[in-house]
Amino acid sequence: RVPVLTWYNRASGAPICRSSQPHAGLTDKVMAEDEASLMHLRAATSRTNAGRLLADSFDDDGRGAPATPGKDDGDSDDDSATLEFLDIANIHGMQESFRVLREALGAPDEGDGVYRAVHDSRWLNHVSLLLRGAVAVADHSAGGDPVLVHCSDGWDRTAQVCGLAQFLLDPYCRTIDGFGVLVEKDWCAFGHMFRERGGFGSDPQQETGPIFLQFLDAVSQIMWQCPTACEFTEEFLEVLADAERSRWFANFLRDSDRDRARENSGSPRGPGRTPRGAARPRPEENDEAVSIWRVFAFQRDRFSNALYDRDGATALRPNASLQALRLRPSYLHAEDVSPEVAALRARIRALEAERAGDDDGFHDSDAGFHDARAPRSPQLE
């Protein structure tokens, strides 16, 4: 729960940090260590009169959580800190919203009934709140205020808001390579539980949630309003959404870098060879999965936006109102995809069939992939 720097705004000198919910202790006593860590945020900025934004991702139901040290809903001895609730629902609210939305999109067309069901899902309301939170964080950062974004555990709503704020502020994050760095850093390295949220964990009924998908949907909304701002296309996001669901790519198989390192450090099982006639395990069971970024490196031109303006606006400020958003069924309804995504799925199925009869296992060369790692952002060095 210690605040960690995730991005530094060189233009304003303000850091964006993230953490889980700062606690006040079992007896509701403010802990000096937590208070000191928040004071260090202000000390880290170059602006002498900078305030601090404490962006609490909780919704109304989460406001009974332990108070943030140095600031609460009422009075505070530290007037330099602004606590802003972003009102983003937790995974259970998102899970129910997504369930209702998927049912609406999958139902036979019955006129107004479909629109009513989509409205009742409140999916776009959630996306609107997410974008509003990201815009607030970006505005404070651009103004020179250090920001701490937090939620209960620090790997769901926190990842969404921090990732979107950087996407708005840093043009590098809007390139193909830079978006890969952003996902690897704020999602994979910070421990978003892809396995649990995808329904492959120990409690699939309680811990699932379309958190990463919702992040991609929010990015799509920004791209729709700013069509020349991104190097990549909508199909790029569709492939990422499909990659998370497919369980075929190493980036999204585990819940943390520690789990991924354990699997890659030479487990007793190891990738090995599968005896003839035995069922081939999925990649998550024997470490034969490849990185999704290899797919994009191999087919870069295919996912490049012809309208991309490399010298365009440095920072983006999209309209986050509900009226400015639109539904993008291809992310949310698995059967409604672009030809590019359909072709990639067909290729994955072909590779799976090849592997079933290949005693020597899977080789990257079979897929036409090559090693390619996204360069680090200058902002992160």
Please write down the HEC assignment for all residues of 301-357: HHHECCCCCCCCCCCCCCCCCHHHCCCCHHHHCCCCCCHHHHHHHHHHHHHHHHHHC
The catalytically annotated residue of 151, 162, 188, 230 is 151
Under DSSP, the state recorded for 249 is: B
The side-by-side arrangement of strands in the sheet containing 14-20 is 4-9, 14-20, 147-151, 52-56, 81-85
Picking from 41, 68, 42, 43, the residue whose alpha carbon sits closest to that of residue 57 is 68
CA dihedral 176, 336, 316, 11 (to 10 degrees): -30
Q: Check whether 217 is labelled as a binding-site residue.
A: no
Residue 133: predicted pLDDT: 94
Tell whether 62 is in a known binding site: no
Is 151 catalytic? The answer is yes
pLDDT of residue 115: 81
The answer to the question of whether 152 is labelled as a binding residue is: yes
Give the pLDDT score at 92. Answer: 84
- Residue 328 among known ligand-binding residues: no
Q: Is 78 annotated as a binding residue?
A: no
C-alpha 100: how far from chain center: 22
**91 labelled as ligand-binding?**
yes
User: pLDDT tens per residue, the chain (381 residues)?
Assistant: 678 899 999 999 999 998 877 664 455 555 666 666 666 666 666 555 555 566 665 554 544 444 444 444 434 444 556 777 677 888 888 989 999 998 888 777 666 777 888 889 999 999 999 999 999 999 999 998 888 897 766 678 899 999 999 999 999 999 999 999 999 999 999 888 888 887 766 665 667 889 999 999 999 999 999 999 999 999 999 999 988 888 788 888 877 777 766 665 543 333 333 333 333 334 444 445 678 999 899 899 999 999 999 998 899 999 999 999 998 766 666 555 556 666 766 766 666 566 555 544 333 333 333 333 344 443 433
Q: What is the pTM of this model?
A: 0.76
211 is in an annotated binding site: no
